[in-house]
Amino acid sequence: MALGFPGLQDLNRRTVRAPVNPVDKSTVVSIFPFRLDETKPTIQPGRFIMEPGSYEKPSVLVVGPSSWWREIDQEQPLLEITNSSVQIADSIVKDYCNGIPECDMDSCMPGFFYLPAVWTAKEVKEKHTPLLDAAKAKQDNWFRALVNRADVDWARSNGNPRSLTDIARYAARELGLQKEWIKDFQAVSLVRCKGCGNLRDPRFPICASCRMIDQDHPAAKEMKFAV
């Protein structure tokens, strides 16, 4: 009985994983142009990070099985429940995509999919081109839906650039669409020159209008001019 041995009850509550099947691996593939950092607090391991990907250079993440624990009673050890790598890969894709704006989880969604076993980005491009093509078509459909929604949000907000998302702006550029709300957002990002008052790009230390140097810019002290 756990009551007769102080500390034994605490040992029974530990989440100790059983040996993991080394061949249980799956690969999540992404052509999504933004970084994914997803945490599932109820499983171990539960944090999954994917770098931005593209059709030309897909990003891949190899995952194994993860576990969660079920409580039986106060005296018995916690029961480990294992989810296979395929279940984890499927969860990474669905949990991120399900519920985000304009995604229908079918023909209109970010460019994610998964494959059983371990695959490199090169192998995915060489052997699974149809899956990459399908992912790109779905992501392009999603981009178009985001742009259409951005048009509505732009009109409803009377041209407020803060009503739009970075992904919508990226989608418009990726689709080669010339939208007024992209140009307007760039204009809002400009600052007034202290010398002439004209708008200038704060990323550069010299005003294009009056040629005044912004002494507060980090690159100003490193600039040298020929005499």
> Residue type at 160?
N
Structure confidence at residue 186 (pLDDT): 62
Q: Which residue has the tokens 């010398």?
A: 195
CB atoms near residue 199 (< 10 Å):
16
| Alpha-carbon distances, residue 61 vs 17, 74, 134 (angstroms) | 22, 38, 19
Q: What is the pLDDT of residue 185?
A: 65
Q: Which of 149, 20, 145, 31 is nearest to 93 (CA)?
A: 31
Instruction: Return left, alpha or beta for 37; rule: phi > 0 is left, psi -120 to 50 is alpha, else beta.
Output: beta
Specify the pLDDT at position 184: 67
Tokens of 110: 């970010």
Encode burial over 164-186: b for 16+ CB neighbours within 10 A, e otherwise: beebbbebbeeeeeebebbeebe
* pLDDT confidence of residue 220: 76
- Whole-number pLDDT of residue 200: 82
pLDDT at 136: 97
Cis-peptide, bond into residue 218, ω within 30° of zero: no
pLDDT recorded at residue 3: 44
Of 95, 8, 7, give the one whose Cα is nearest residue 43: 95
Ranges of residues in the chain whose predicted pLDDT is under 50 = 1-8, 227
Question: Tokens 């409580």 appear where?
Answer: 71
Q: Give the pLDDT of residue 187.
A: 65
Cβ pair 182, 170 in contact under 8 A:
no
